[in-house]
Structure 1
Amino acid sequence: MSGPSPATSSAPHGGNIVLRAIGLLSQIAGVVSALLIVASVAVTCQMIFIRFVLNGSTIWQTEGVTYMMIAATMLGLPYVQFLRGHVNVDLLPLMLPPGARRVLAFVVMACTLGIAGLMLWHGYHFWHEAWDWGETSNSPWNPKLWVPYLALPLGFGLYALQIAADFYAMSREIEEPFGLAPDARLTPEGAE
């Protein structure tokens, strides 16, 4: 057994309205992330058409696609966490008894929350500095940089919020540590 089944792989809420609201925010961020990816593909196709079919020059497309893909990545963080889609190596959790597995899950979540909080803090300062100073890019398009930089604190803020919701759900036993049943254990091959 290697985690939750695909039918139950999203963050459980146990009827808690706050956990449901945070899950909804994560899903909205996922939809925005997907739309940004679709938009960046469309802009890339438009850029290729202008350059190679019309033999024209492009000004904003490459930079715009880069900003959209970075924003899609940042806004996709909470959605992937909501779906339990991040890489999960469950060898150690499967070897541990349920109590130790629970402790490990809390330690992992606390560390992840700390790192997400640190990235949120630095992302906010990065964004605020660009907004406060009116920074623009060094390109012919010259957009205000606070707009694409906003994806950093927004993405990591929503990610930290989803992790905090997962931490709460696990502490209230709405969700099992690592999505594993308490009796899930790693057994040697051939053992009965």
Structure 2
Amino acid sequence: MTQTSPTNASRGAVDTLLRTIGWISTVCGWISALMILSSVLITCQMIFVRFVLRQSTIWQTEMVIYLMVGATMLGLPYVQKLRGHVNVDLLPMWLPRGPRTVLALLVLGLGIVVLSIMAWYGYENWHIAWERGWRSPSVWGPPLWLPYLLLPVGFGLFILQLLADLLALLTGRDTPFGLEDK
């Protein structure tokens, strides 16, 4: 009979959690890509309607803006998962392992704090738009709570990926800034 030690069980749970968060971030990346593709197709349709059919467009420009904002917000966790955000790694490369780990923990912690503030205000903005029934002042006039919802959701998912990165660093599953020791 095989016995599972508490350490192995918790290790498996952490691995499952990290894989799940990674999967969520990847799905966000795919949704973001589909939103960008949709905005390109809508832009092509808008050009056709305006310049070939000589008709006015009502919803296309606004929809493209909302899709691009949504793609940006939902793409945040995926880009973080791939370590694709702009960074300057001169200092981490220069530092030895111990101070590099401290710097990585500080950066992740501060990032989580700043993004939590942004997520809170994004939620607050969404909630006001929802409660008051705000609509866009355009002819199309979609409810504004829909695009505003993307702010707290995007920042929340970004925070989730940062928490996964922090957990991976604290449990030794990842190295600080993805750099190996010299």
Calculate the TM-score normalised by the size of structure 2. 0.91
Aligned-residue offset at 1:61: 0.4
Tell me the distance in 2 between the aligned counterparts of 1:170 and 1:182: 14
Q: Which runs of 5+ in 1 are unaligned?
A: 1-12, 184-192
Report the secondary structure of 2:141's partner residue.
coil
Q: CA deviation at 1:88?
A: 2.2
**1:165-184 pair list within 5 angstroms:** 165-183=164-182
Hey, which of these two has a bigger chunk of helix by percent? Answer: 2
Cα RMSD of the aligned pairs, angstroms, is: 1.3
Higher relative contact order (CA 8 A, sep 6+): 1
Name the structure 1 match of 2:40. 41
1:127 and 1:164 map into 2 onto residues whose CA distance is: 24
Matched positions, count: 171
- The equivalent residue for 2:100 is 101
CA displacement at 1:119 relative to structure 2: 1.0
Give 2:108's aligned amino acid.
M
Mapping for residues 16-55 of structure 1, pairs under 5 Å:
16-55=15-54
Q: Contact 1:14/1:174 (CA < 8 Å) preserved in 2?
A: no
Change in 2 beyond 3 A, CA 1:15/1:125: closer
Match of 1:132 in 2: 131
Unaligned runs of 5+ in 2: 1-11
Percent of residue pairs bearing the same amino acid type:
55
The one-character-per-residue Cα deviations of 1:106-142 (angstroms, maximum 9, x if unpaired) are 1111111111111111111111111111000100000
What TM-score results when the alignment is normalised by the length of structure 1? 0.87
Asked if structure 2 preserves the Cα contact closer than 8 Å seen for 1:124 and 1:152, the reply is: yes
Q: 2:3 corresponds to which residue?
A: none
The reply to whether residue 121 of structure 1 matches residue 108 of structure 2 is no
